[in-house]
Amino acid sequence: MQERVAELESSVASLQAELTGLRMRVAALEAGSAISARPNLAVTAIPDVDAAQVEGWLALAGRTLVILGGAYLLRAITAAHIVPYGWGVAAGLLYGAPWLLLASRAGSRGRLLDAFCYGLSTALIGYPLVWEATVRFGVFTPLQSAVLVGALTAAAYALSFVWRLHSLAAIVTCGALASALGLAIETGAWVAFTTLALAAGLATLWLGYLRDWVLLRWPAALLVDLLVVVLTGRATGQFWAALAVQVLVVAGYLGSFAARTLRKGRRVIPFEVAQSIGILAVVLPCLFGFVAARPAGVLTAAAVLLACGVAIYAVSFTMVARRAPIENLFFYSLLAMALTAVGVAIALPAMAGIVFALAGVAAAAGARRLVAVVLWTQAALFLTAAAIASGALAAATAALVAPASTWLAPGAAAWTAVACAGGALLIPPQRVGPLRYGIAAARLGLAVLVSWSVSGALVYVLGSAFGAMPGWGPAWLAALRTMIAVAVTLALAYASRRDAWREAGWLTYPMLVIVGAKLLTSDVPSGHPLTLFLALAAYGIALIAAPRARRSRPRPA
């Protein structure tokens, strides 16, 4: 009652200040004087704190301390063996439960401070009680303690959500996370308490969505990622349970992100991006390493990841039809690509390079009809993954910089990756839609990949063919590399004459600089007159012809 009276007094004081300001403005207008452009700001009256309010606060604090004192009395009785440990723990649970019911009753009557104090009492009694009953008294097993902590946390979260008790939710979150981490360390039951931390993390995530309590989900997600890492190394004898927890982390968080952004049409927020990166950088590598040592779980993990990736791809295409925000489309397409790539790498490690290469060509072809910037980004990333997984990038690098004796023989997957990368680059882009510079960046990266891979492939083929000839040595190999680099530079310059492949022309001058540096550091020290003649002549032709090749023909008026 006193608080309502104070609010009414504050409102009346604010109205009086506004009325005074209006009178002053009217008087200034009648007098013909200038009126200040900056209006007078009303000063809100500070409500008085009377003795009754202070008495109420002291009464709440005293009642909370009395409740906690009763809990300590029960603990003392139990520790002194006056009653058995089991009976003492049961009495403590029965003692702490009613305060949560009283908190709900106080919240329904609008007494939020009373509700917070009752809920705080339950939290301060419940979490330490479960800890000691598990670690010191041995009354509960780790699984039972995880269930009890989860039930207590869920009840407190429900109360906080209904009556908007943000501070109680924060206290409960700290208690649940500290209990999960501490009990996992003390008992070694990482599966049970990682599941508990995951449940708390998902609960805080949705509290942030529904109540805008955005800070609670960050520490919870961080602890979940940390516990997954520890669980991967310590899940001895619990393979399937640990695998299920890892899969639940991926599905729980990503499913929640999809439910929010798709059902409500919201934009992706920083937490969703950060936790998705955490899942891709921490959880999925742990999952990959975990199933690698146990072939029985390979197909299960791969099937789950592939199913999630395909489902997210389907969602991405529906987002195109609904004209969703471009950042959402980027987020979900990259997430789907990562899940699909990891699933393919787990299930088909020998065929992963070919699958990635075909997916890259398909994305480049689809970019002519759908969102071009997204699919060209997908094409560049898939083809880069194909070059790495198939060994094409490693073989090209060895052919370009290493001695011939250390070259790697590319397989069928490597040649397929190089051919698909070149074919994707030959597809003319549709430079329409938002973020056209993203299309140019993706195609530029693809041009770099194709140039490097094709140069390495030519050096490998020609160097292997000429290597059996008498007199072949490092000088001839250096000259061959220079001439192939010049040929690739001229090809890039000539291709840029057409607007569809203008990004390739951006590599012309960087290539000339690289070839010049290579000529000075490799050809000149190791060459002899004939090889130097060929290398210098080729580089001179490149300096003359490449700028002319980049000049586009004048368009008709």
Residues 433 and 528 in one domain: no
CA distances from 193 to 84, 182, 386 (A): 27, 9, 39
Residues 30 and 69 in one domain: no
Does a structural domain hold residue 548?
A: yes
Closest residue by Cα to residue 392 from 428, 367, 422: 422
> 112-143 burial string, b = 16+ CB within 10 Å, else e?
bebbbbbbbbbbbbbbebbbbbbeebebbebe
Residues 85 and 132 in one domain: yes
Cβ-Cβ contacts under 8 Å for 419 (sequence gap 6 or more) = 357
pLDDT, tens only, 427-472: 988 876 656 788 889 999 999 999 999 999 999 999 988 887 887 8
| Cα separation, 506 vs 291, whole angstroms | 44
Does a structural domain hold residue 439?
A: yes
Residues 80 and 66 in one domain: yes
Does a structural domain hold residue 357?
A: no
Helices within 348-435 (DSSP H only): 352-366, 372-390, 392-401, 412-425
pLDDT for the residue numbered 47: 52
Q: What is the residue whose two structure tokens read 């952004």?
A: 261
Domain containing residue 298: 250-349
pLDDT above 80 (res 32): no
Q: What is the dihedral of CA 198, 204, 209, 213, to 10 degrees?
A: -160
| Cα separation, 461 vs 31, whole angstroms | 96
Residue where a domain stops, chosen among 202, 234, 266: 234
What's the full length of the chain, in residues? 557
Q: How confident is the model at residue 21 (pLDDT cuts 50, 70, 90)?
A: low
Rounded average pLDDT over 201-220: 93
pLDDT for the residue numbered 43: 45
pLDDT for the residue numbered 41: 43
pLDDT above 50 (res 339): yes
The tally of domains found in the chain comes to: 5
The 10 Å Cβ neighbour count of residue 9 is: 13
- Look at the pTM and tell me if it is higher than 0.85: no
| Cα separation, 80 vs 88, whole angstroms | 10
pLDDT, tens only, 101-153: 887 777 777 777 888 888 888 888 889 889 989 998 888 999 999 999 999 99
Q: How confident is the model at residue 54 (pLDDT cuts 50, 70, 90)?
A: low
Cβ-Cβ contacts under 8 Å for 165 (sequence gap 6 or more) = 107, 112, 115, 116, 119, 159
Q: What is the residue whose two structure tokens read 């209904």?
A: 162
pLDDT, tens only, 78-92: 777 787 878 878 887
pLDDT for the residue numbered 11: 62
The 10 Å Cβ neighbour count of residue 302 is: 19
Least confident of 274-283, 311-320, 493-502: 311-320
| Cα separation, 99 vs 67, whole angstroms | 9
Q: How confident is the model at residue 473 (pLDDT cuts 50, 70, 90)?
A: confident
Does a structural domain hold residue 361?
A: no
pLDDT for the residue numbered 35: 46
43 burial (CB, 10 Å; 0-12 / 13-18 / 19+) is exposed
